[in-house]
Amino acid sequence: MAEKIKFNLEYEIKSSPKILFSFLHEPNALSQWFADDVSYKDGVYEFSWDDEYHTAKLISIKENKLVKYKWLDDEPYHFEMEILQDELTNDVALSITDFSRAENLDDRKLIWDNQIAYLQSVIGA
């Protein structure tokens, strides 16, 4: 199986870090933009997209700052969402770290672009 490569994306989000943070780790909020459905049980999140299910464990969380999920069905890979706030302007950005096979990289980035656009519409940004 081909190795996956790490990539980073950054999106400006018109939201406070506190509001944005809830959309990054709460199952009900995640199901509004990230996946078709999200459930949580015993420290494991189950994400579904078009009747396809994937499980992940929240391995790092920093209040109003960062969440990092480790895929249980695609180890050792993870994805991370970090809230960045400019100290001078207070502008808020969301940094995404994810992994993809080289041949799927453009599609993976497009998926994130679409998901973040949907997140912004849900937040009202």
Residue with tokens 């018109």: 14
How many residues can be counted in the chain?
125
Its pTM stands at 0.89
Residue with tokens 């992994």: 99
Region of poorest pLDDT, from 33-37, 75-79, 105-109: 75-79
Asked whether the bond before 27 is cis by omega within 30 degrees of 0, the reply is: no
How much is the pLDDT for 73? 84
For residues 92-102, average pLDDT: 96
Query: In which domain, by residue range, is 62 found?
Result: 5-123
Structurally, the chain folds into a number of domains equal to: 1
Q: What is the mean pLDDT of the chain?
A: 93
CATH code for the domain of 98? 3.30.530.20
Assess contact for 11 and 91: CB atoms under 8 A: no
Closest CA to 24 of 96, 86, 100, 99: 96
Model pLDDT for residues 49-84, shown as the tens digit of each residue: 998 999 999 999 999 999 999 999 877 899 999 999
